[in-house]
Structure 1
């Protein structure tokens, strides 16, 4: 049977019923989720500031709603990584290495912003789905719950954004 407790730097044991190996694997997947989520947050906030055109007000408000929700989620993801006994990534360098999302290199027009955010929300959903599979295999229900909620939000955001392009 895999040992499920590990000493922390102060000698406290982590014994939550999930092996260290499984906690490390789930934390690694959550770190990718955090990196994708942070990159999406930055992109959405950037587009909120810089959107122009006839849909300005609609997109400005929609982007604000989405980046505000995403900002709140970052803390939940990072705190779950910590609860599993691992450090959460927190630098741009780490996020650039871990994220499946590439930052835009210029300010696109409004329609391109929408298309980028559809693609980026779908990327976060795929990352969440992969992490969810790992968490489920580890019988890590709190992480499964967190990721299920994130999946719902990103799939809904992608749908709403996609609808603007049809």
Structure 2
């Protein structure tokens, strides 16, 4: 999955709400021919039904909350990993407890056009973000440039 990570798909956004984030990222991904136009509504609906927030501070102290929203394959045109860092944390419901709202700093959107590979790729992404050494994860989450994020995330995905 390391070939799916490119600096061009790493974004640093200032979207104060989840709705603003999904609108901004959906427009961008449709324009780049990565996602079908119907993907925006599908992302919103899926997030309401299957929350994607995760508390990484349970993995190691000092790690941020993340979210891993994704789409079904028929709405994806290119298999890619989209990474977003928020200037201001955005509220997402916790995957483990949907009654809990998490301030999320990073989003990892698996855009997978091959439905049969979805479970494997999702598991690989979650392993990379939860089982990699804390020092490596902290360097990733401290990155301030898209090229740094892609460079630091690639080996984590290779090892996962």
Q: Answer yes or no: same fold by TM over 0.5.
A: no
TM-score normalised over the length of structure 1: 0.25
Instruction: Name the larger-Rg structure.
Output: 1
TM-score normalised over the length of structure 2: 0.25
More helix by share: 1
More strand by share: 2
